Chain A
Amino acid sequence: MTSVRRIATAALVTGAFVLTLTACGPKPDPVHKEQILSMGTLVNITLWGVNDKLAQKAFSAANEDFNYMQTAYNPWKPGPMGRTNQLLALDAWFSANPSILPLIKRAKTLYHSSDGLFDPAIGRLIGLWGFHSDTLPKGPPPKQAAIERLLAEHPTMDDVEIKGIRMRATNAAVQVDTGGFAKGYAVDRVVDHLRRLGVHNAIVDAGGDLRAIGSRGGAPWRIGIRDPGGKGILAEVDVKGDQSVFTSGVYERFYTYHGKRYHHIIDPRTGYPARGTTSATVIGTDGTVADAAATALLIAGPSQWHHIAESMGVKYAMLVASDGTVYMNPAMAKRIHFQHKPAKVVVSEPL
């Protein structure tokens, strides 16, 4: 009898132990998610720890902001940026649209810090390649003579002069293509807006490029970085506080003509799609800088990325070269957890 009582006691203790452990299991997260189609991409917004009312208010505000910016920053359609490009071609001072002025100022700064590798002034070159519209070009690629003609005119963001609210281009070939940084800029604006509404834990993810603020109930946000070679997730990284994760990849927009692939990231030095790198990932606070830096590092390639990252103030960078080699700085190497082993990893000097 004593033995039965002991076993019963044992079962009770075990049961209590199990219940205690299960009680420690995570409860469903108070997460709100919304998806918006804007800026030519799918925008995913994740909020943590807000009530339904605030979530709906935040989603509605984000939707309005993105839709406004989609029109305002489109360089090729009627709207503030489209009009700015028309006026830049006239070689005369004009009053800049207040929504465009800060965008152009940022573009000029980023042009300088990237040693000219990030140059949104080459809009005509982007147009020549056919990557300026929502639909992908089918080819053929532009003729070399046409590319050389545009390169000879050498439009750069330095040709755009700003005095107060007045603006002009001293080179009629300047056409600003916002594709390399407008998404980052828009993500920053929406994050600012969410904060003003009282949202402090969120991810604003515009087609895979994102800024994450706060945390998921104290735990970091876990971000998967997709393998540019199509093998699922290459690596994962945890972010907490306020950080942007931006990747530029040659696989995002491209076309194939006579068996050769032509992607959308044009090297302003050659006029042709950048070579040598498949993707570049940058982690930083400011989404605009991270967006532009990811483009600049992809163009810089394995031999120059470190210098450009230093010049742009990037603290965490990773490049996947065309041969599969992964280049990154030591700080990035500490944060990145590979999900499958890359062909080769080269860790650089610190940034």
Chain B
Amino acid sequence: MTRADVVVLVLALALLPLLYVKFWHHGAAGEQVRIRVDGKPWKVVSLAHDRRVTVPGALGDSVLEIKDGAVRFIASPCASKFCIHSGWLHDGGAFTACLPNRVSIEVIGARVRYDAINF
């Protein structure tokens, strides 16, 4: 084996993990959250920066928290608080909604982990 062969092998092997993560790793995190009010697009917000987003819904304000690339409901005027109970969403395709307040959120990204969420 020549030195060039070794270089090819080393480079190829070094690149494989990167390629795997980029192209085949299924659980890629989402990059943005799509917020809808009353079924219509309201805003798309990046998950790259930690912040809180207040969304005006049918009953009042729903408050979203974005942290470490994930998003969750932290306040909502609904009775059941099912939206808050859903917890953090981080995978592409993850989805939850506050039905009484007509606010829904969906994590979007280059890759989608789930095509639908059953609950």
Interface residues of A (CB under 8 A from B): 3, 6-7, 9-11, 13-14, 17-18, 21-22, 24-26, 35-37, 40-42, 44, 46, 135-136, 138, 203, 205, 207-210, 212, 216, 221-226, 230-233, 236, 245-247, 249, 251-255, 281
- Determine the chain B residues whose CB is within 8 A of the CB of A14 once the complex forms: 7-8, 11-12, 15
Q: Are B118 and A230 in contact (CB-based, < 8 A)?
A: no
Interface residues of B (CB under 8 A from A): 2-5, 7-8, 11-12, 15, 19, 22-24, 36, 38-39, 79-80, 82, 85-89, 91, 93-95, 97, 99-100, 102, 104, 113-119
CB distance from B80 to the nearest CB of A (A): 6
Q: Are A17 and B3 in contact (CB-based, < 8 A)?
A: no
- Determine the chain B residues whose CB is within 8 A of the CB of A6 once the complex forms: 2-4
Secondary structure at the B interface, as helix, strand, loop or mixed, is mixed
- Determine the chain B residues whose CB is within 8 A of the CB of A46 once the complex forms: 115-116
A20–B22 alpha-carbon span in the complex (Å): 14
A216–B99 alpha-carbon span in the complex (Å): 28
Residue among A35, A36, A246, A253 with most chain B CB within 10 A: A35
| Contacts A18-B19, A37-B102 given; does A223 touch B79 at CB 8 Å | no
A14–B16 alpha-carbon span in the complex (Å): 11
| Contacts A42-B99, A136-B80 given; does A10 touch B116 at CB 8 Å | no
Residue of B nearest to A41 (CB): B99
Q: Are A281 and B118 in contact (CB-based, < 8 A)?
A: yes
In the assembled complex, 13 residue pairs joining A and B whose CB atoms fall closer than 8 Å, in A order, are A10-B4, A14-B11, A18-B19, A21-B15, A35-B104, A37-B38, A136-B79, A208-B117, A210-B118, A212-B116, A223-B115, A224-B93, A249-B119
- Determine the chain A residues whose CB is within 8 A of the CB of B102 once the complex forms: 37
A13–B101 alpha-carbon span in the complex (Å): 57
Q: Are A36 and B12 in contact (CB-based, < 8 A)?
A: no
| Contacts A6-B2, A42-B104 given; does A230 touch B23 at CB 8 Å | no
- Determine the chain A residues whose CB is within 8 A of the CB of B94 once the complex forms: 224, 233
Residue of B nearest to A244 (CB): B118
- Determine the chain B residues whose CB is within 8 A of the CB of A252 once the complex forms: 80, 82, 119
A136–B81 alpha-carbon span in the complex (Å): 12
Q: Are B87 and A223 in contact (CB-based, < 8 A)?
A: no
Residue of A nearest to B27 (CB): A339
Residue of A nearest to B18 (CB): A18
Q: Are A223 and B114 in contact (CB-based, < 8 A)?
A: yes
Q: Are A7 and B116 in contact (CB-based, < 8 A)?
A: no
A216–B113 alpha-carbon span in the complex (Å): 13
Would you list the 3 A-B pairs with minimal beta carbon distance, nearest first?
A6-B4, A25-B23, A226-B119
- Determine the chain A residues whose CB is within 8 A of the CB of B79 once the complex forms: 135-136, 138, 255
- Determine the chain B residues whose CB is within 8 A of the CB of A21 once the complex forms: 15, 19, 23
- Determine the chain A residues whose CB is within 8 A of the CB of B39 once the complex forms: 35-37, 42
A77–B24 alpha-carbon span in the complex (Å): 50
Residue among A26, A42, A203, A254 with most chain B CB within 10 A: A42
- Determine the chain A residues whose CB is within 8 A of the CB of B24 once the complex forms: 25
A318–B39 alpha-carbon span in the complex (Å): 31
CB distance from B31 to the nearest CB of A (A): 14
Which of A22, A216, A245 has a CB less than 8 Å from the CB of B118? Answer: A245
CB distance from A287 to the nearest CB of B (A): 12
Which of B82, B99, B119 has a CB less than 8 Å from the CB of A247? Answer: B119
Q: Are A223 and B118 in contact (CB-based, < 8 A)?
A: yes
A44–B85 alpha-carbon span in the complex (Å): 20
A219–B79 alpha-carbon span in the complex (Å): 39
CB distance from A56 to the nearest CB of B (A): 16
Q: Are B116 and A223 in contact (CB-based, < 8 A)?
A: yes
Residue of B nearest to A14 (CB): B11
A297–B79 alpha-carbon span in the complex (Å): 26
Residue of B nearest to A279 (CB): B119
| Contacts A212-B116, A252-B82 given; does A3 touch B99 at CB 8 Å | no
Q: Are A209 and B115 in contact (CB-based, < 8 A)?
A: no
Q: Are B116 and A221 in contact (CB-based, < 8 A)?
A: yes
A36–B39 alpha-carbon span in the complex (Å): 6
A281–B24 alpha-carbon span in the complex (Å): 29
Q: Are A222 and B85 in contact (CB-based, < 8 A)?
A: no
A18–B16 alpha-carbon span in the complex (Å): 9
Which of A41, A208, A216, A251 has a CB less than 8 Å from the CB of B115? Answer: A216
CB distance from B5 to the nearest CB of A (A): 7
